[in-house]
Each structure stands twice: as C-alpha cells, then as structure tokens.
Amino acid sequence: MKILQVAPYFHPHVGGVESHVFALSRGLVELGHEVKVLTANHTNKLPTEEKFEGLEIIRVPTLANLFNTPINPSIFFKVRKLDFEVAHLHFPPPLASFFAALSLVKLKKPYVLTYHCDVELPVPLGNLIVEVYRNTMGRYTVEHASKIIVHTKTYQATSRSIWNLEPVIIPSAVDTQRFSPERFSPELKKRYGTFRIVLFVGRLVYQKGVSFLIDAFQYLPNNVLLLIVGDGPEMENLKKLAKIRNLEHRVIFLGRISHFELPSYFATCDVFVLPSVSRLEAFGLVIVEAMASGKPVVVADIPGVNEVIEDGREGLLCKPMNPEDLAEKIKRLLENPDLARRLGENGRKTALEKYEWRKIAKDVERVYMEVLRAQ
C-alpha cells in the first residue's frame, strides 16, 4: 500500500505528534508499505526531499509561522503531484490538514484524520479565533474524513469537535526498543552524582504546566533535581521563576536533546512528570516513552492523559495546577523504591502490550484497508 502521511511538523522538529507519526510510519514500513511524509520546511533551510529511517520526507515552503502553526498552502498543490492510495492527516496544528483535505476532496481520494487534540490559543480573542476556525476549516477537515482516529475515549467524549462522531480509538505509538530500560546511562547518572532525578520532556509552553512543576520543588528535599528537556517561548519565564524560588541550582534547563540521546534521559531518571494543564495535551506520548523506559510517572488528572495510565498501577495521578499535591506524589515515589520499581515494571509491560508501534501500526493498517474497501 502507498501511504501519504501529512504532518504539520516532522523530523528534525521534535514534538509529540512528530514522534507519533515517526513511530507509526516506521511500523507501517515494517509491514511492507511505502510511506511518504509530507510536512513543512519549518526553517526553509532543510532539504525539500530526504530519506530518513526508511521514510521519504517531502517538505514544502513555510510562508510564516503563526501561533506555532506553519502556513504552507503549497501542501494543496503538492498533494496533487504525489503517488499514493490513502492519505493520513494529523491535526493539529491545523492548517496543514486543511490544505491537504481541500486537495484530497477535489481528487476524490480517501483520507484518515488523526485528531490529536483540540486547538487552544491563550491570547486575547483566542477563543473567538478558535471558534471561527472550528466552524469553518476545522469542520471541513473533520466532515470530509473517511475515518477519524482519536487516542482516548475520554478525550473523544469531551471534545466539542468530535464528541458526536464515532471515531476509532487507537492510542499513540512508541518504539519500545528505542525507549527501554537498557538505555540507562551510567555516565549520565554519574554526571548528577547523588541527586535523585525528576525528568520533564516537552515544549516549553504554558499548557505543559512546567511552572507548577518548578513550584513543586519548593516542597521537595534538596537532593532532588529537575531536568527539563525541551525549548519554547516560556523558557526565559521559567528560568526567572526558578531563580525567584531560589531553585536555579536544582532546576536544570537542558534545551533540545538529540533524537539519539533522548532515550537515555528517560531510562536514567528516577521519576518522569507530565503536569499538563490544557486540552492541547490529549495523550502525552512522553508518558508512554517513560513507561517503555521502565520509569514510574506522575501525570496531571485531566481528560486524555489520565487514561494513559491507571492510578497506582503504572504511575500516580496528581491534581492539575497544584504544586503541593504534585510534590507529594513525586516524594511518595522517591521515598518508596519498591513502589517506584513496581510501577516502572508495570509501565514497561503496559507499553509493550498496548502502545508498541508494531501493534498500533497494524491497528491503523486495518483502518486504511476498511477505507479503501469502501471506495
């Protein structure tokens, strides 16, 4: 089968949707399919075509970037020139899927849409802009999809855009060989000496809730260190917050870590935390990457991400935007090594059983075949 993945961002850009598309596409290639990934040339300095890990990446120019959304209408024209049987669009950021949908409808070609999360804009008039988009371009993209995939039941049930539809529930995918306890790094552990390591990985934006995680460190012992992997517009504000709280020596900003180094950070930390506060976090693939690495997790109790784990089995749920409760959950894991080990082992087992990329690829493959049979 010839498959076209349309993703707003892709390698070398780092993010949850990018990681999902990469893992899914690798799984589809292993199943014998030909996969092209159409994406934004977000710096306009990357190759327009590139081979990467068995995938063909095709990049189109980006005219501008607005609210972390690449504006690239040339996707509409590029889709018409490519050879494929079924397209798979990934939303959000929103415009890439819309431009591709416009072209696919005109071509009368089927497409599957993975609805990763709702759109939010934390700016003045942001709610109005989102509502206008949802009732125009967003509605067009959703209504013309042959099938819609969403990662969790709770998110589907609470999303204004898809709650009344019947999407297929397929979780995100993780490479359980790349993210594995075997990626533990003695050198990395030695670098931080006797400190216990709490890890956050993600884009530094408000909705990730990193400010609440930093505040939580006021209630944790001095031998606990926070490693923050990622970059984003909130970086300087978060550094200022750490300084105001007199935590700059215990909150380490590492910036972006390479694709090849990242698994070692997951495998070497003591606890992984995702303190998200927004519906922009509908699944949290980094949770599963930590689970695959055999680590206990602390996750904010919000729709979508709270379905990835079972509280007390693979990790602990914490109250959103509550630094004291977040600190209490982290402390519980650090002070109870048997509990932390059991949750980590359970997480690894769950990742293998539910989220392994080959399994997810087969589930998505069945959706493609159903869509093609219906033509």
Residues 245 and 319 both lie in one domain: yes
154 phi, psi to nearest 5 deg? -65, -35
Residues 236 and 366 both lie in one domain: no
Instruction: Report whether pLDDT(17) > 90.
Output: no
Q: What is the average per-residue pLDDT within 212-235? A: 95
Residues 39 and 94 both lie in one domain: yes
Instruction: Map residue 121 onto helix, strand or coil.
Output: coil
Amino acid code (one letter) for 71: I
pLDDT per position as a tens digit, 126-137: 778 878 877 888
Amino acid code (one letter) for 287: I
Residues 56 and 150 both lie in one domain: yes
Q: What's residue 117's pLDDT? A: 77
Candidates 200, 224, 180, 211; CA nearest to 333 is 224
Q: What is the average per-residue pLDDT within 233-241? A: 95
Q: Band of the pLDDT at 320, cuts 50, 70, 90?
A: very high
Instruction: Map residue 89 onto helix, strand or coil.
Output: strand
Using CA atoms, how far apart are residues 349 and 130, in angstroms rounded to an integer?
39
Instruction: Report whether pLDDT(303) > 70.
Output: yes
Domain of 57, in residue numbers: 2-173+357-373
Using CA atoms, how far apart are residues 130 and 222, in angstroms rounded to an integer?
43
Residues 168 and 195 both lie in one domain: no
pTM as predicted: 0.79
Candidates 348, 213, 333; CA nearest to 288 is 348
Residues 190 and 58 both lie in one domain: no
Residue tagged 């899927």 (tokens)? 97
Using CA atoms, how far apart are residues 358 and 292, in angstroms rounded to an integer?
14
Q: What's residue 20's pLDDT? A: 86
Q: Within 13 A of 141's CA, how many CA atoms are on the CB side?
A: 26
Q: What is the average per-residue pLDDT within 341-366? A: 94
Residues 138 and 236 both lie in one domain: no
Q: Band of the pLDDT at 279, cuts 50, 70, 90?
A: low
CATH number of the structural domain spanning residue 321 = 3.40.50.2000
Q: What is the average per-residue pLDDT within 56-84? A: 91
271 versus 304: which is more confidently predicted?
271
pLDDT per position as a tens digit, 37-65: 999 998 899 999 999 988 999 999 998 88
Residues 347 and 364 both lie in one domain: no
Residues 265 and 230 both lie in one domain: yes
Residues 88 and 229 both lie in one domain: no
Q: What's residue 35's pLDDT? A: 97
Instruction: Report whether pLDDT(163) > 90.
Output: no
Residues 16 and 128 both lie in one domain: yes
Sign (positive/negative) of CA torsion 30, 9, 293, 339?
Answer: negative
Residues 33 and 129 both lie in one domain: yes
Q: Band of the pLDDT at 280, cuts 50, 70, 90?
A: low
Q: What domain count does the chain have?
A: 2
Average pLDDT, whole number, for the chain?
A: 91
Question: What beta strand segments (E) does the chain contain?
Answer: 2-6, 34-41, 49-52, 55-61, 64-66, 69-71, 86-91, 111-115, 147-150, 168-169, 196-201, 224-229, 251-255, 271-274, 297-300, 315-318
355 phi, psi to nearest 5 deg? -120, 0
